[in-house]
Amino acid sequence: MSEKTTKILRIPGPELPPHLLAQIDAIFFETAPLAPQTQPEREAFRQRWLGRYLADRGDAVLLAITAEGRVAGYLVGALENPAAQERFADISYFRTHFAELCRRFPAHLHINLSEPWRNRGIGAALVEAFAEVAARAGAPGMHIVTGRGMRNVRFYERCGFRELGSAQRNGGASVFLARELDPSAS
Ligand SMILES: CC(C)(COP(=O)(O)OP(=O)(O)OC[C@H]1O[C@@H](n2cnc3c(N)ncnc32)[C@H](O)[C@@H]1OP(=O)(O)O)[C@@H](O)C(=O)NCCC(=O)NCCS
């Protein structure tokens, strides 16, 4: 990571102090311009892509913390196969298009950085930290799902992910990008 003063912390979601939680929420909505504007849709959107991972002690919550103690970005992820867990039944592509891939690459993540902290290698450091956590937990692989043609695809490819599947959706395609892990190396 080029920012020598930024460190990565893993904190169980239920133990997050309110000031860090507030900054994670701010980054989540800053990076989600299509988030619904009205409650309770807004809260359901947050729960789907962020809240559920903060509520579960077994999930990974990794924070990039600046020298001033601010949250530059976060990564949340689950370590076990989402296609086999009832709590992810509301995200249909895990079971419809990507069930077999989820078995081979069970860990999955969501990552967002505040705008001033992008393009400095902090995202790659968060992904590497998650790879270590997932491998240590015994996951043989990890994946992310994003949109075809999104700028972040290049980032994931540089982090060692490759496209193994896709699913058509309204107005585009979701792509399944995966990377193998070596649990025995951790
Ligand atoms: C994607 C992201 C986590 C990468 O972290 P980072 O520390 O900026 O990444 P690095 O410095 O290691 O690499 C830079 C790459 O990040 C990606 N990136 C940078 N800014 C971005 C932005 N506004 N939107 C999408 N991807 C971006 C690009 O792939 C970039 O490479 P490029 O310059 O060749 O296009 C971070 O840029 C970000 O939070 N972007 C906005 C939200 C997002 O796309 N989250 C992922 C949702 S699946």
On whether residue 129 sits in a domain, the answer given is yes
Please report whether residue 134 resides in a domain: yes
The amino acid present at 149, given as its one-letter code, is G
Give 122 Cα–ligand 1 centroid separation in angstroms.
10
**CB-ligand 1 contact for 146 (6 Å cutoff):** yes
pLDDT number for residue 153: 98
Residue 2 lies in a domain: no
Structural domain for 109, as ranges: 7-185
Residue 149, in any domain of the structure: yes
pTM, two decimal places? 0.96
Asked whether residue 89 carries a pLDDT value surpassing 80, the answer given is yes
Average pLDDT over residues 142-158: 97
Predicted confidence (pLDDT) per residue in 24-70, tens digit? 999 999 999 889 999 999 999 999 999 999 999 999 999 999 999 99
Cα gap 55→185, rounded to integer Å: 29
**Residue 184, pLDDT score:** 83
Pocket test of ligand 1: the residue of 152, 159, 163 to mutate, having most ligand atoms within 8 Å of its CB, is 152
Mean pLDDT of 56-85: 97
Residue 26: predicted pLDDT = 98
Asked if residue 1 is part of any domain, the answer here is no
String of DSSP letters for 47-77: IIIIIHHHH-TTSEEEEEE-TTS-EEEEEEE
Average pLDDT, the chain: 95
In a domain, 97, yes or no: yes
Q: What is the CATH number of the domain that holds 24?
A: 3.40.630.30
pLDDT at 175: 97
Instruction: Answer yes or no: is 55 within a domain.
Output: yes
The number of folded domains in the chain is 1
Q: Give 132 Cα–ligand 1 centroid separation in angstroms.
A: 21
